[in-house]
Structure 1
Amino acid sequence: MSDPTDLYRLDGDLPELTDPVLIYHFEGFVDAGATGRLALGHLLAELEHRVIATFDVDRLLDYRSRRPVMTFDTDRWTDYETPELAVYLTRDVTGTPFLIMSGPEPDREWELVTEAVGMLVTRLGVRTLVTVHGIPMGVPHTRPLGLTSHASRPELVNGQNSPFGKVRVPGSLAGLIELRLGAKGHDALGYAIHVPHYLAQAEYPQAAVTALEAITRGTGLVFPTEALRDAAEKTTAEIEEQIAASDELAGAIHGLEQQYDAFQSGATRESLLAEDTPMPTGEELAAQFEAFLAERDDHDG
């Protein structure tokens, strides 16, 4: 039997904490709009933090399926971007300590990783685990972003209605952690942010803002979001510029608005997940937006 403690290394003595929240996200699973990556990346960029534990990625990752980036300069290798899966200690704007776990989703030993996370959660006295990511939905960016809450106990989702029934989907380590640790009595919850399907492949900062707002409501933690909101406003302005230049895009967005408003008013119960809609597909809309965003990035240099 493998020992879960072999999977991680503590960076110094563990801090003395009182019921901290652990926010986690792994890159590699569905994350429309880069919601989880942007949200946690923003927190690590804005808040002072230190590493308190690192996982053995050499053991957990399949490098040939997700090759790390190396830099070649003229006639030699000069850099290697070492993948890192780590737990960080930081504080919100009120001074409340909390934990962040982020990095690539392990390719193997999920059950053992989950046990290792459970051991860290117990040792650190974590009261709640929270995960966020984005999912593509047939919704327009001109309406407030929705979300689907899920948790280890029904009381944690505050009675919010879900657009989903019982479905079978490809698994994720984030989901397994919620399932396994929830069964052991830990409070675990997550927020799947509804990202417009035509923006799923692009970075959509507004989805990250929505994710952090949801975490604040669920945990009481308060985050600095000004820079992220500025980025969201800039992105929205660029999207509107693209729509104004295309009658086809404008018509497609208008169709999504009508469908969304009818759903919200109860005039129709057609799922926002429905694919049979008389408008360009998410892939077609995304291709047009991606071409625009690529042109913008080239212009920005």
Structure 2
Amino acid sequence: MFDPTDLYRLSGDVPELTDPVLLYHLEGFVDAGGAGRLAVGHLLAELEHRVVATFDVDRLLDYRSRRPLMTFDTDRWVDCESPELVVYLTHDAAGTPFLVMHGPEPDREWELFVEAVGTLATRLNIGKLVTAHGIPMAAPHTRPLGLTGHGTRPGLTSGPGSPFGRIQVPGSAASLLELRLGSRGYDALGYAVHVPHYLAQAEYPRAAVTALEAVSRDTGLVFPMDGLRDAAEKTTAEIEEQIIASAELSTAIQGLEQQYDAFHGAERENLMAESTPMPTGEELAAQFERFLAERDEKDS
């Protein structure tokens, strides 16, 4: 039996903590709009933090499936952007300590990785594990973002239940952490933010705002949100600008709005009215990809 503690090394003094939250996001699984990545990246950019533990990515990653970028300068190699999977200690806006685990999702040794996180949870007295990511949904950006909460026991999340019923989906290391550690008595929960399918490949800060607001609501942590909310408002304004300039996009969004409102009961009396032709996700995505490309050209 391999020792799971061999998968990571502790950095400096191990902090004495009382039931801290571990907020984690592992890149590589579905994350529409960059909801989880932007949320965790925002916190690490806004809050002072220090490394508590570093995982051995040489054992966990398949470099041939996601090759690190290397820099070649004239006649020699000068740099390699080595991936890192790290646990940080930080404090929220009210001074409450919590932990953040961020980095690439392991390609291998998932069960041993879960065991390793479990030993860290014991060592650091972790009281709750929390994750968030985005999933693409056929919903317009002009309506409130939906949110599906899930947890290892009832009452951990205050959000609405899942609209999906019982389904099978491809697994993720984040989901396995919740499943395995939950079976051992840990409180583990997560959120899937419903991101408009035509924005799934873009960075959509509003999804990250929704994710962090849910985390704050169910953990009591207080996050600095002004910068992220400003980015969300700017992105929304740019999207609206593009829609106003395109009759085709405007019609497509109106069709999605009609479908959304009918589904949520806002227009049940008008279900027999003439409906707007519904766009496909691919059609909307293609139009917004053109918009995003134009925006990137202006920013460069």
Q: TM-score range by the shorter chain?
A: over 0.9
What CA distance in whole angstroms lies between the structure 2 residues aligned with 1:192 and 1:278? 28
Write the letter of the residue equivalent to 2:211: A
Deviation at 1:159, TM superposition (A): 7.2
Per-residue deviation, 1:280: 2.5
Q: Which runs of 5+ in 2 are unaligned?
A: 269-275
Residue aligning to 2:243 = 243
Q: Which residue of 1 aligns with 2:36?
A: 36
2 CA distance for matches of 1:175 and 1:291?
34
- Return the TM-score normalized by structure 2: 0.95
How do residues 193-208 of structure 1 correspond to structure 2 at under 5 angstroms? 193-208=193-208
Find the aligned partners of 2:159 and 2:94 in 1 and give their Cα distance: 28
> CA-to-partner distance for each residue in 1:243-277, whole Å, 9 max, x for gaps?
11111111111111111111112767xxxxxxxx9
Distance 1:266 1:151 in 2: 29
Q: Report the CA distance between 1:156 and its aligned residue.
A: 1.2
Matches within 5 A, 1:17-56: 17-56=17-56
Letter in 2 for 1:52: V
- Residue equivalent to 2:289: 290
Q: 31-40 vs 241-250, which deviates more? A: 241-250
Structure 1 residue aligned with 2:117: 117
Relative distance call for 1:64 and 1:278 in structure 2 (3 A) is: farther
State how far apart, in whole Å, the 1-side matches of 2:258 and 2:18 are: 48
Q: Does 1:14 align with 2:30?
A: no
Partner of 1:281: 280
Q: How does 1:1-301 map to 2 (within 5 A)?
A: 1-158=1-158, 160-265=160-265, 278-301=277-300
CA distance in 1, matches of 2:63, 2:11: 24
Please say if residues 53 and 87 of structure 2, whose CA atoms lie closer than 8 Å, have aligned partners that are also in contact.
yes
Structure 1 residue 12 displacement after superposition? 1.5
Per-residue deviation, residues 222-261 of structure 1 (Å, max 9, x unmatched):
0001111111111001101111111111111111111111
CA RMSD of aligned residues (A): 1.3
CA distance in 2, matches of 1:93, 1:173: 29
- CA distances 1:174-194 after superposition (whole Å, capped 9, x unpaired): 000000000000000000000
**Separation in 2, partners of 1:267, 1:255:** 13
Q: CA deviation at 1:279?
A: 2.5
What CA distance in whole angstroms lies between the structure 2 residues aligned with 1:230 and 1:60?
36
Matched letter for residue 202 of structure 2: A
Distance 2:267 2:141 in 1: 21
* Shift in alpha-carbon separation, 1:75–1:107, aligned structure 2, 3 A: same
Corresponding residue pairs, total: 293
Write the distance in 2 (CA, Å) between the matches of 1:161 and 1:110: 28
Q: Is the 8 A contact 2:24 2:100 kept in 1?
A: yes
How far apart in 2 are the matches of 1:158 and 1:52? 30
Gaps of 5+ in 1: 269-276
TM-score w.r.t. the length of structure 1 is: 0.95
What secondary structure does 2:264 align onto?
helix
Which residue number corresponds to residue 272 of structure 2?
none
Shift of residue 74 of structure 1?
2.8
Look up the equivalent residue of 1:108 and give its one-letter code. Answer: R
> Is the CA contact (8 Å cut-off) linking 2:93 and 2:224 kept in structure 1?
yes
Question: SS at the partner of 2:66?
Answer: coil
**1:283 shift after superposition:** 2.0
SS in 2 for 1:155: coil
Q: Percent identity?
A: 76
Task: Find the residue that maps to 1:129 and give its secondary structure.
Answer: strand
Going from structure 1 to structure 2, the CA distance change for 1:77 and 1:117 (only over 3 Å counts) comes to same
Distance 2:176 2:218 in 1: 20
Aligned to 2:273: none
> What residue is the counterpart of 2:271 in the other structure?
none
